[in-house]
Copies of this chain bind each other. A is one copy, B any other.
């Protein structure tokens, strides 16, 4: 074939020949809200940040000084794609011991935050048009990652104990090109829902039956401040179909960008090849900091402190919301994690409300539509209680209640 000469580029081009995946990406409806949120005068219910006051700053400073004194070349030179070996081994052992995760055929790779684990898993599995079955609502970052691989997203209504199982099975039956079931089983973002043990089993059985893999995204599992832990889906993964994504972003520091993927070694090998061409390897100093912290400091006490802090914040936002929100704005009380999901009456325009709240009242929260797999409006609002201070929670909920 011969290519015609194009004359349209002799001046500054404003129309690039982007890939289909890129042109189909819609600008985020909530970009404006996040833009406002950068203003320190705005009360940040919109973020998903862990509390900055929770970072073990002194420990990290001491650890970093030690690394740069004793093994600077290892920290500053290229590392291997699979990750810093001692950290990999520690995480594997920790998952096995504490959570019962890991079989003979499994392996683990360190990634640059669990977002990268989701992205590379999507890249490893999805052809354009393949279906990802996910909770509705679900985490916008993962939904958008799937969208960049031109996936078809099918949302399953989320009940108080997890996905509606009949709808899940129906979606598997109806979508011959379904490849992945994506779930955040603990304190889901945005809904705060924890999937029950029975439903975890049911989801797993359905995935096995229909030949799908499960991406089990668990960034909040360590942040349970009430109730009993529920075993991870990965713990009953005899078929080797569960890809477990974990993170130190919510428990240690998100700025370091350290997470991991535990899965059958055939899958982690593919992810490793894709990671090598993506960012070569995760920042080595950050991996060493995480390893030293996890092994030489009292991580368990640190987690207890975090849980106590977030419980306090949750208690506060719940009591303030009960006092100031009209009764038709309802919510379940989450047993862990970072989010309160407020369901609004039918017909309530949460998008318009959130835009107005931040623009006119300097209170930022995220409307439900941001988390909708189909993009349709959801009459709900997500409030994060880990980022704002107690004073901000009190003031912000009152302001929101006043407008509502």
Residue positions of A touching B, CB distance < 8 A: 1-3, 5-6, 8-14, 16-22, 25, 47-50, 52, 55, 57, 60-61, 64-65, 68-69, 72-79, 103, 105, 112-113, 115-116, 119, 123-127, 130, 141, 144-145, 147-149, 172-176, 178-179, 208-211, 213, 238-241, 249, 253-257, 264, 266-267, 270, 273-274, 276-286
Contact = CB atoms under 8 A, between A and B. Distances in A.
22 contacts: A6-B211, A9-B208, A9-B209, A13-B264, A16-B264, A17-B179, A18-B125, A19-B125, A19-B149, A47-B78, A48-B78, A60-B76, A64-B68, A77-B255, A112-B257, A112-B279, A115-B277, A141-B277, A145-B277, A148-B274, A257-B279, A257-B282
A209 B125 CA distance: 37
A286 B147 CA distance: 29
Instruction: Pick from A126, A127, A255 the residue with the most CB of B within 10 Å.
Output: A255
A254 B281 CA distance: 10
B25 A52 contact: no
Contact of A76 (B8, B52, B279, B284): B52
B270 A285 contact: no
Contact of A18 (B16, B50, B270, B281): B270
Contacts of A238: 11-12
Contacts of A284: 255
Contacts of A208: 9-10
Nearest to A149: B19
A241 B130 CA distance: 32
Contacts of A213: 16-17
A64 B52 CA distance: 18
A19 to B, nearest CB: 5
Contacts of A280: 113, 115, 141, 254, 257
Contact of A283 (B49, B79, B286): B286
A141 to B, nearest CB: 6
A21 B78 CA distance: 26
Contact of A61 (B9, B50, B72, B123): B72
A60 B78 contact: no
Nearest to A150: B127
B175 A276 contact: no
Contacts of A249: 78
Contact of A240 (B5, B13, B112): B13
